[in-house]
Amino acid sequence: MAYVIGEDCVACGTCAGECPVGAISEGDIYKIDPNACTECGTCADACPAGAISK
């Protein structure tokens, strides 16, 4: 199951910069492409808002 970004996202962009496969796109709330996500968890570890989970 791919990681998802919840409503706590503050759109800081930290996760997108850390994703090794470029699976995260910008927006008011960033989004993770479930087909591209490799489930590495790097984005969740990097998120200062704790908005990313499985």
Distance CA(12)–CA(18), nearest Å, equals 12
Distance CA(31)–CA(27), nearest Å, equals 7
**pLDDT for 4-46, tens place per residue?**
999 999 999 999 999 999 999 999 999 999 999 999 999 999 9
Distance CA(49)–CA(47), nearest Å, equals 5
Distance CA(54)–CA(28), nearest Å, equals 20
Per-domain residue ranges of the chain: 4-48
Given the candidates 3.20.20.70, 3.30.70.20, 3.30.360.10, 3.60.110.10, the CATH classification of the domain at 4-48 is 3.30.70.20
